[in-house]
């Protein structure tokens, strides 16, 4: 899609700002730079974060008064495009945990003015990290079965119960938690969404190690943890509406097929040729792999074009709807198949966990393949998205999740 004249001007101004403000030493550096040992990138990363925050580009479409830049979605896309062109990564969404993509947009919709003023600027600047305490040992897909209780006590709620799979709970400053505030109400009616600081005696976190090696998530225990009543998001006992919206934002943020389309997909063909070799006519030597790779590249392209079409039809007014479930499943499929093909085409080199006989790229591919298994689980599993699609989009009767 080509830019309008106004967009061209905007693109030129973004390019100019990036040329002046992006520290070149960070070019090509991925996320997770917090642990970077060389002093220069850490210093530069801090500088880069603060410059982005000042510009409101941590959450560019949010209102300026809450730390955003008040830009349209097409303008935000232009900023992302221009950053990608020079190998610049925006660290703020990662530093804010669940803040920029999920909690923030939900506060914008459901929050009081006071909540917006207190919480949004810290998220938009990447200085306050948020986690989400939704899942429990007996409440995953069937989230409404949750039992963590919040009892009113003066100006506060007192929380007791256990959450699980809480991503980043051990390093977050704030948590958005789904809790039961009325045990006598219907399953989905007695639930509320509260926000609470993690640094308090009533909150304990225990990291869980994942198959891909890292420990990015935790069991989280609330033992008389305190959430102030003025940090109730939405109405009391109407947390189900709040969480449905928040989960739509989560799915929306997961719709881009990681490494699926365009440039990166072409990279996969080259990789296949390097590892598997080519025939005289230059085509991939393994006919079966060739067929599956071509099929994946077509799926990836179709997914990317669909996102492009939806954005164009919405004329940049990106609405979060049930259709995000379709795109989430399609993005999941593309990302997982890509990861599987990558380790497969590497042959023995795609089986390494550690050691000098494997390149960093090969070791990374194995971790990405294993880590990618989680995509069809978090944010609502693949099967649960299919239930949402059948009920909310196709209008079929609900047969599985009563309550
Ligand atoms: C990497 C990762 C990060 C996560 N981060 C967070 C987080 O930050 N905060 C948080 O609260 N949670 C988080 N989760 C938890 C995630 O939301 C749950 O794992 C997910 O909702 C599934 O719940 P469950 O694991 O209890 O599986 P279950 O609900 O027990 O499901 C098990 C299997 O049964 C299938 N199934 C269940 N119900 C149905 C149905 N009605 N119809 C058809 N099939 C069904 C599922 O698809 C799945 O295959 C994370 C999970 C992962 C993997």
Stated length of the chain: 403
Q: What is the pLDDT of residues 199-223, one digit of tens each?
A: 999 999 999 987 777 778 899 999 9
Task: Please determine whether the domains at 130-238 and 254-393 fall in the same fold group of CATH.
Answer: no
Q: Is 139 in the pocket of ligand 1 (CB under 6 A)?
A: no
pLDDT of residue 34: 44
State what percent of residues in the chain have pLDDT above 70. Answer: 91
Ligand 1 neighbourhood includes 387 CB (under 6 angstroms): yes
What pLDDT, on the 0 to 100 scale, is given for residue 92?
96
Mutate to test the pocket of ligand 1, among 171, 220, 376, 378 (most ligand atoms within 8 A of CB): 378
pTM for this entry: 0.89
CATH number of 130-238: 2.40.110.10
pLDDT at residue 248, as a whole number? 87
Say if ligand 1 is within 6 A of residue 381 CB. Answer: yes
State the pLDDT at residue 128: 98
pLDDT tens for 259-317 read 434 444 458 999 999 999 999 999 999 999 999 999 999 999 999 888 878 777 766 66
What lies within 8 Å, CB to CB, of 24 at 6+ separation is none
Q: Where are the domains of the chain?
A: 5-95, 130-238, 254-393
Q: How far apart are CA 17 and CA 128, in angstroms?
A: 25
Residue whose C-alpha is closest to residue 134's, from 92, 169, 173: 169
Mean pLDDT of the chain: 90
Is the pLDDT at 38 greater than 50? The verdict is no
pLDDT bracket for residue 96 (50, 70, 90):
very high
Q: What is the CATH number of domain 254-393?
A: 1.20.140.10
Provide Rg for the chain, Cα atoms: 22
| Ligand 1 pocket residue status of 145, Cβ below 6 Å | no
The DSSP 8-state label assigned to residue 3 in this structure reads P
Q: What does the alpha-carbon distance between residue 298 and residue 261 come to, in Å, rounded to a whole number?
A: 9
* 72: Cβ contacts below 8 Å, ≥ 6 apart: 61, 316
| Interior angle at CA 220, CA 214 and CA 224, nearest 5 | 160
What pLDDT, in 10s, does the model give residues 114-129? 999 999 999 999 999 9
- pLDDT band (50, 70, 90) for residue 37: very low
Catalytic residues: 250
72 lines ligand 1 (CB under 6 A): no
For the segment 347-370, the average pLDDT, to the nearest whole number, is 92
* Least confident residue range of 138-142, 253-257, 287-291, 341-345: 253-257
Closest atom of ligand 1 to 131 CA is: 8
Q: Which of 137, 41, 31, 1 is nearest to 92 (CA)?
A: 31
Residue 260: its pLDDT value, please? Answer: 39
- C-alpha 230 to ligand 1 mean position (Å): 30
CA distances to 14, 133, 223, 263, 343 from 372, rounded to whole Å, are: 33, 22, 33, 20, 12
Helices (H) and strands (E) in the chain, counts: 12, 8
Q: What span, in angstroms and rounded, lies between the C-alpha atoms of 53 and 73?
A: 18
Q: How far is the CA of 382 from the centre of ligand 1 (A)?
A: 9
Burial class of residue 148, CB neighbours in 10 A (0-12, 13-18, 19+)? buried
Atom of ligand 1 nearest to the CA of 381: 47
Cα(135) to ligand 1 centroid in Å equals: 8
Model confidence at 91: pLDDT above 70: yes
* CATH code of the domain occupying 5-95: 1.10.540
């Amino acid at each position: 899609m080509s830019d309008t004249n106004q967009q061209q001007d905007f693109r030129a101004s973004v390019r100019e700002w990036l040329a002046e403000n992006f520290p070149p030493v960070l070019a090509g550096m991925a996320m997770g730079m917090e642990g970077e040992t060389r002093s220069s990138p850490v210093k530069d990363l801090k500088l880069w974060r603060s410059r982005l925050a000042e510009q409101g580009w941590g959450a560019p479409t949010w209102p300026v008064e809450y730390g955003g830049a008040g830009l349209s979605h097409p303008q935000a896309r232009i900023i992302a495009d221009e950053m990608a062109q020079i190998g610049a990564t925006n660290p703020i969404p990662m530093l804010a945990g669940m803040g920029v993509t999920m909690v923030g947009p939900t506060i914008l919709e459901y929050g009081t003015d006071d909540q917006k003023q207190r919480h949004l600027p810290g998220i938009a600047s990447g200085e306050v990290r948020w986690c989400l305490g939704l899942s429990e040992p007996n409440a995953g897909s069937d989230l409404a079965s949750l039992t963590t209780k919040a009892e009113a006590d003066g100006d506060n709620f007192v929380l007791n119960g256990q959450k699980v799979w809480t991503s980043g709970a051990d390093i977050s400053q704030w948590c958005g938690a789904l809790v039961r505030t009325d045990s006598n109400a219907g399953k989905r009616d007695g639930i509320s969404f509260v926000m609470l600081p993690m640094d308090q005696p009533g909150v304990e976190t225990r990291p869980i190690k994942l198959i891909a090696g890292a420990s990015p998530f935790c069991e989280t225990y609330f033992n008389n943890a305190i959430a102030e009543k003025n940090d109730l998001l939405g109405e009391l006992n109407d947390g189900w509406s709040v969480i449905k919206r928040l989960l739509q934002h989560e799915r929306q943020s997961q719709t881009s097929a990681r490494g699926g389309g365009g440039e990166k997909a072409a990279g996969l063909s080259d990789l296949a040729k390097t590892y598997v070799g080519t025939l005289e006519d230059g085509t991939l030597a393994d006919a079966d792999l060739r067929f599956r790779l071509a099929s994946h590249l077509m799926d990836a392209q179709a997914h990317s074009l669909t996102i492009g079409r939806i954005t164009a039809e919405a004329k940049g007014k990106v609405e979060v709807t049930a259709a995000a479930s379709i795109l989430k499943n399609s993005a999941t499929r593309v990302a997982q198949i890509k990861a599987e093909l990558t380790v497969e085409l590497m042959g023995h080199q795609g089986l390494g966990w550690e050691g000098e006989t494997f390149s960093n790229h090969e070791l990374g591919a194995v971790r990405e393949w294993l880590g990618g298994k989680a995509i069809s689980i978090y944010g609502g599993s693949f099967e649960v998205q299919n239930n949402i699609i059948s009920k909310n989009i196709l209008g079929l009767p609900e047969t599985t999740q009563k309550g």
